[in-house]
Structure 1
Amino acid sequence: MINRWILWSVALLCLHPMASATADSLAVTAVDATTRAPIAGATLVSGDRAWISGRDGAFVLPATAPGATMAVSVRAPGYARVKASIRGEAHEIISMTPIRPKAIYLSVYGIASRELLGAALALPERTAINALVIDVKGDRGMTPYPSPAREAVGAQAHVPAKAPRVKDLPALVKSLHDRGLYLIARIVVFKDDPLAQAHPAWAVRDAEGNVWRDREQLRWIDPTISAAWTHNLDVAEEAARMGFDEIQFDYLRFPDAPGLQFHETNTAEHRVGAITGFLSAARERLLRYNVYLSVDIFGYVCWNLNDTAIGQQLETLGEQVDYISPMLYPSGFTWGLPGFERPTDHPGEIVSRSLAQAIRRTGLPGVRFRPWLQAFRDYAFDHRNFGAAEIRAQTDAADAAGTDGWMLWNPRNRYEPMALPR
């Protein structure tokens, strides 16, 4: 648990952002490596303590003993994480390099496939791709590595014996970092058929009290059960220890089906409380790793003023995560948008207008958003292929909104180099 001293320190720095070092403290300033401008709102972590930089980019830390060093990690939206050793002899400057991840998605099958991984690794030389989103726990509850957390709760017993595996995922993570790639660990949270099989008491129930299954005949975990939170945070911690730069939570929501039963009454207050409660627990649990946190949300959440009946209330997410990732696939806007009855005819406008709505409603800068974009064939309107023109319209719209890059989704993990931005 984060102790009260940490919370008090963070609150104090927010109230007095121009605080300076004293004889009993150490001043550290985060600056942009390119412009040398101070970075406000950066997070510095040392052990289980955290500090937030003020408007001048400065942190005020406890002084170190003469000759001693303090290992720190600093993150800020829009920048790569920095690890450093701080000495107490002078005012320390930490330079942070701007980065805008432009990623493709690799499923459990994709990261374990020599062919698909090889094709993905050829893209940075020919395209703008500089990041990967990798399933650490996928849609069917599989992990591409032998997860102690999955074994401990009995979920692994309900995964196919021939599930894809990476021989040494931590070693692969290191090799991908050596290539200069930004790595995002995708964790599917409440859609978890193996976990629901292992713990039926945690499963979502239908109106008759039977274990509910979705259209794919998969079971879900009740988001109001905190024990299930703990397990997913165990998996997230495994990913953080492997060295992933960011932990991305997907399916962090209630099922979008009527008449379901949960341990708590199905009200907007309880739904939103479960989602924000999980994210708050994730921030606390993963503090010492100083990884970036992100959450995937439905595209319509940018527009709906309520929680879309799934617990995703847009205005509640910015305080919990570094990045909000709306899924802005034109095919997913099945009811269209005002003025756009066929969203697939207007992929750029769908992205730009949705991001504008999200930025306006939250008051957050564009860099706090990184959208999912469509790189797959349409399934809802005219079944058109999303090629270079459609993909470029989306990526241009995201770039114009000042987002922290973008992510391309293709469930088959196949990305044509000629269709990707350069």
Structure 2
Amino acid sequence: MPVKHYTLNRIILGVAALYAVLIVTGIVVGPLTSSDEQPTEQAEEIEYTPGFEESAEEIATPHAGVGGVPADEPSVEGIIVSEDTGEPLAGVTVVAESDESGEILTTTGSDGRFQLKGIDDDVTVSFSLNGYATTEATLGPDDDHEIALGYPVLEGRISSVIGSPLRGATIAVGDTYTRSVENGVFELPHEGDASEIIVKAAGHETTVIPIDEFDGGIFLEPQEVSAVYIPASIVADPDEFASVLDSIDEAGLTGVVIDLKDHLGQVHYDSGVELAQEIEALAGTFDVDAVLDELESRDLYAIGRISTFEDPTLAEARPDLAIQDNLNDDLWRTWQGRAWANPLDSDVQAYNVALIAEAAGLGFDEIHLASAQFPEHGLVHRADYGQATSASLREQTISGFLDDAYAAIAGTESVLSASIFAMSLWEETNDVTGQDLQSMAERIDYINPLLYPSHFATGSLGVERPGEHPYMMVSRSLESGVEILPRHLTGKIRPWLQDFSYGLGIDYGAEEVREQIEAAESTVTSGWFLWNPDGKYNWDAHEPADEDEEDEEDDE
């Protein structure tokens, strides 16, 4: 056996040596066939077009006999660069429509160059690259053209993970944002230096996507928030705050609403907003960073509440920014004696927008606006705003303020919501307050109607004692709101519900709270908030977080 292996090896070596001699002979002496005898059949099958991984210069210029293209055939060629940086752009799809040749297509190489062969007259050429605006130009042959693609444009579609397209979602890149339209599609030009895309949609989790991973489709996870309001006095007490948070965890709720600026105008954290410091609005009630850390450690959704135009602290410190009383030389006041800041004043609006932007920067998941309206309680006919007002002007003012507020946080991961009177679900526009249900829903992420059954007047909705019918009052109100709003806005409704006793009639306990929650959850909403001004809740109104799992185990 060893002999056979040896003999076979010698044969193999001999053949290899002979083959090597033939190769060397071919290199030194030259090919065994002359150039005019090159096969034409193979040449007819080969046509080189520069691609994404190779430059146009790396491909030999067509010559007679290769690809059947004459050496002097006219072509349209050039280079494509970024309008922003001037750098060549690779992978640009270049398409020309020629009367003679039909559609001619190529792609720029790594040097940004392109060549469209067989064109001997002016032709319209389109240039497209994902992330940039598609550009068209009329180009002629025999010139070296330079085409600059403008600012990047993101194009895509927003959908829920279940596949439903989401209209009205916010898509932000840097300081630029847009909203998706029908079928969830969007187009967003931007300056090109941002690293991520932020997407928000009612009833869904805010989603952040690295811009270099964007492939045109964005799918959002559903989200419903069940939260309770906790007054600043409780937040300031670590032990009491922890106790309330424990109750929230045990009840299976998901969020917390805390005051950042309350209805007295006090700012409860160490704000860096200059005007808040100047008017001595800073109360220093709690360490906001520590509060946010605690909520994050418990995986609780953090909502910062800001009372906007109901701001006695600002009004008293800066009367020039307050609503005046047209019958005396004093500030206008509500029935409770509280002065209001003037919603028409640009400095008042800017002050609140600065606080809203600061709250988003601190890391709140949601900024909730209270009193984003003109006042309603008091002798409103005596309110002097420094100019004549009308229902139309009031509505335009509130809508414009919300536009500015939203623009301030669109590029952050925070969403924006605002409370609105319950009757707005029945009468779309409140001529006194300037709050228009649809106009507000179009501008911000959530609308929070104050659906407190005890606060409805006798006879409301045909009910003699509304407070004694919590399920009916909440259910009918929400159903009316859903009918008023276009379908794509109905998911923005997230009501405030009542967990306190008020006025004549029944006291509110676990049963009444539970009925309101059931009414809210049976309607198209994105969750609910519970209000008790003292932060004292009927925790037994909520099923424990693991009760359903325990029931399933018992059934087994």
Q: State the TM-score bracket (shorter-chain normalisation).
A: 0.7 to 0.9
Instruction: Measure the CA separation in 2 of the matches of 1:28 and 1:315.
Output: 26
The equivalent of 1:273 in structure 2 is 396
Structure 2 CA distance for partners of 1:96 and 1:307, relative to 1, 3 Å: same
Residue 288 of structure 1 aligns to a residue whose secondary structure is: coil
The equivalent of 2:308 in structure 1 is 189
Structure 2 CA distance for partners of 1:191 and 1:60, relative to 1, 3 Å: closer
8 Å contact kept, 1:69–1:85: no
Instruction: Measure the CA separation in 2 of the matches of 1:289 and 1:175.
Output: 21
Aligned: 1:70 with 2:195 = yes
Residue 177 of structure 2 aligns to a residue whose secondary structure is: strand
Instruction: Measure the CA separation in 1 of the matches of 2:474 and 2:509.
Output: 16
Q: Larger RCO: Structure 1 or Structure 2 (Cα < 8 Å, ≥ 6 residues apart)? A: 1
8 Å contact kept, 1:376–1:409: yes
User: Which of 224, 235, 257 is residue 344 of structure 2 equivalent to?
Assistant: 224
8 Å contact kept, 1:24–1:63: no
Structure 2 CA distance for partners of 1:178 and 1:93, relative to 1, 3 Å: farther
User: Which of 504, 512, 522 is residue 390 of structure 1 equivalent to?
Assistant: 512
What is the Cα deviation at residue 374 of structure 1?
0.3
What is the Cα deviation at residue 91 of structure 1?
2.1
**RMSD (Å) for aligned C-alpha atoms:** 2.5
Instruction: Measure the CA separation in 2 of the matches of 1:323 and 1:278.
Output: 15
Instruction: Measure the CA separation in 1 of the matches of 2:310 and 2:244.
Output: 27
Residue 195 of structure 2 aligns to a residue whose secondary structure is: strand
Structure number with greater Rg is: 2
User: Which of 439, 449, 470 is residue 347 of structure 1 equivalent to?
Assistant: 470
> 1:85-122 CA distances to partner (integer Å, 9 max, x unpaired)?
1216x725544221100010012223222244223311
User: Which of 400, 406, 413 is residue 528 of structure 2 equivalent to?
Assistant: 406
Structure 2 CA distance for partners of 1:336 and 1:146, relative to 1, 3 Å: farther
Structure 2 CA distance for partners of 1:61 and 1:263, relative to 1, 3 Å: closer
Instruction: Measure the CA separation in 2 of the matches of 1:41 and 1:315.
Output: 13
Aligned: 1:173 with 2:292 = yes
What is the Cα deviation at residue 337 of structure 1?
1.2
What is the Cα deviation at residue 44 of structure 1?
1.8
Worse overlay, 219-228 or 109-118 = 109-118
What is the Cα deviation at residue 59 of structure 1?
4.5
User: Which of 442, 446, 451 is residue 323 of structure 1 equivalent to?
Assistant: 446
8 Å contact kept, 1:328–1:351: yes
Aligned residue identity for 2:171: L
The equivalent of 1:244 in structure 2 is 364
Q: Which sections of structure 1, spanning at least 5 residues, go unmatched?
A: 1-20
What is the Cα deviation at residue 281 of structure 1?
1.3
Aligned residue identity for 2:339: R
Aligned residue identity for 2:253: I
- Aligned pair count? 391
Q: Which runs of 4+ in 1 moved over 6 A?
A: 62-65
> 1:50-82 CA distances to partner (integer Å, 9 max, x unpaired)?
2434555455566999xx983121111111111
The equivalent of 2:405 in structure 1 is 282
User: Which of 342, 355, 358 is residue 235 of structure 1 equivalent to?
Assistant: 355
8 Å contact kept, 1:75–1:81: yes
What is the Cα deviation at residue 184 of structure 1?
1.5
Structure 2 CA distance for partners of 1:63 and 1:147, relative to 1, 3 Å: closer
Aligned: 1:200 with 2:319 = yes
Aligned residue identity for 1:371: P
The equivalent of 2:123 in structure 1 is none
What is the Cα deviation at residue 241 of structure 1?
0.2
Q: Which sections of structure 2, spanning at least 5 residues, go unmatched?
A: 1-126, 132-153, 545-556
8 Å contact kept, 1:116–1:414: no
8 Å contact kept, 2:234–2:240: yes
The equivalent of 1:32 in structure 2 is 160
Identical amino acids, percent of aligned pairs? 31
What is the Cα deviation at residue 334 of structure 1?
2.5
Residue 247 of structure 1 aligns to a residue whose secondary structure is: strand
8 Å contact kept, 1:111–1:166: yes
TM-score by length of 1: 0.85
Matches within 5 A, 1:6-405: 22-25=128-131, 28-33=156-161, 35-60=162-187, 70-87=195-212, 91=215, 93-149=217-273, 151-152=275-276, 154-156=278-280, 163=283, 165-167=285-287, 169-209=288-328, 210-256=330-376, 257-258=378-379, 259-364=382-487, 365-378=489-502, 380-382=503-505, 384-405=506-527
What is the Cα deviation at residue 248 of structure 1?
1.2
Structure 2 CA distance for partners of 1:40 and 1:262, relative to 1, 3 Å: closer
Structure 2 CA distance for partners of 1:60 and 1:192, relative to 1, 3 Å: closer
Instruction: Measure the CA separation in 2 of the matches of 1:295 and 1:63.
Output: 29
Instruction: Measure the CA separation in 2 of the matches of 1:330 and 1:296.
Output: 16
What is the Cα deviation at residue 24 of structure 1?
4.0
The equivalent of 1:17 in structure 2 is none
Structure 2 CA distance for partners of 1:97 and 1:315, relative to 1, 3 Å: closer
